[in-house]
Amino acid sequence: MRALHELDASTAATLLERGEITAEALTRSCLERIEDLEPRVQAFEALDPDLALCEARRADAAGRPGPLHGLPVGVKDIIDTADLPTARGSPIFAGRRPGADAACVAALRRAGGIVLGKTVTTELAYSFPGKTRNPHDPARTPGGSSSGSAAAVAAGMVPAALGTQTAGSLIRPGAYCGVVALKPTHGLVPLDGVSPFAPSLDTLGVLVRSARDLPLLLAGLGVLLPPTAPIGRLRVGLCRTEAWDGTLPASRDAVARAAAALALAGAEVTEVEERFAGLSDAQRTVMAAEAAVTLGPLRDAHGDRLSPQLRALVADGERVSPEALATARGAAEAGRARLPALFARFDVLLGASTQGEAPVGLTSTGDPALNRIWTLLGTPCVQLPAGRGPAGMPVGIQLVGARGGDAALCAAAALVEEVLGDA
């Protein structure tokens, strides 16, 4: 059998439920992996090995109750945890000790999950990078803002981790690090106890190693997906949004390979004419305006303790007129109104997760251009690894589902993952 830290979440949960492995042994294996690789990857902001092992022993003694059965999970450091600090990626909150778990963390614990540690986030989940490196090449960004969560899963430090997305903060690091990421339908998972950024966009999701892990993690978050009918002939819409023009050959080739493999496997793959023009700018407008309300008081109180990037975003948001914000929100509503007709024709939309491979350098976390539209529209999205680019770094494809269609999207993602694995 593989080393325990190499197991995907669903395999580990099955073995835990059967009593073939213990939560303590799995947690210990993850901690040993962290000890080996953390100096290179730097995925964790806060870690208490003794506390994690104590939780694991309690899970074993309790008979592994709940769907997560003693599974270790990393938690992004903008999500409150009662027993570990939550610094939100900012010196302003260094050493902050929340009084209670966030709703999602409380749900994980009720489901038998173990909080292994707090993973690195960019500053307040915006663009100023943290210390994390891409585990495939430490000279490259892991993406952001869920940097540590994606890197920890990719490096074998933890089988699953929580992250958030306001523009591209789950899908992009998932693609750069070569793991599976889910941004659910907006509002599906409660955000109580999660540091807010732009509330109409903020979405809590997960990073895992296999698409078949996604329903398990959602169940651990208290979201039980309804049963779905067996997928017959998958209807795939090849969707090149207005952001497609900025993609590089690595991403374009990954999408083309996936489309060809799906067609060969019997899927119906059809070009989508809709490009969702203007929605990338609308997302920028809404995000800046809401961030100015959410983070403006922090800027006023702490000034230059915030990065220039974040101060600039708040300033941009303060300049958004009520008319411009209403126009952007109207464009989002119009885009959402077009979705039902589109998903009457297609089960999923297929596109690129990122512009290309993870960029070299650690001063930027990359561009979320391919993610903005779907975050604005609130649709569920799954990033799937889809090979390597010319630099040998992971590239991914993005599957988009109908709003509220998370169960169908997860089922389709598992099917597509199987097809790509066989291609």
E strand or H helix at 334, and its extent? helix 322-345
Residue 118 a catalytic site member: no
Residue 98 phi/psi, 5-degree rounding, is -60, 155
Residue 169 a catalytic site member: yes
Pairwise CA distance, residues 405 & 228, whole Å: 10
Residue 146 a catalytic site member: no
Catalytic residue, candidates 127, 146, 149, 169: 169
Contact by Cβ (8 Å): 363, 139: no
Q: What angle do CA 223, 225, 227 make, to 5 degrees?
A: 160
Catalytic residue, candidates 76, 118, 147, 210: 76
- Over its C-alpha atoms, the chain yields an Rg (Å, rounded) of 20
Question: Residue written as tokens 């209670």?
Answer: 100
Residues with Cβ within 8 Å of 139's Cβ and at least 6 positions away in sequence, in order, are 133, 360, 361, 362
Sheet of 348-352, strands arranged across: 44-47, 114-119, 72-76, 161-165, 203-208, 180-183, 381-388, 394-400, 348-352, 235-239, 268-272
Catalytic residue, candidates 90, 145, 251, 280: 145
3-state secondary structure of 356: coil
Pairwise CA distance, residues 408 & 405, whole Å: 5
Residues labelled as active-site residues? 76, 145, 169
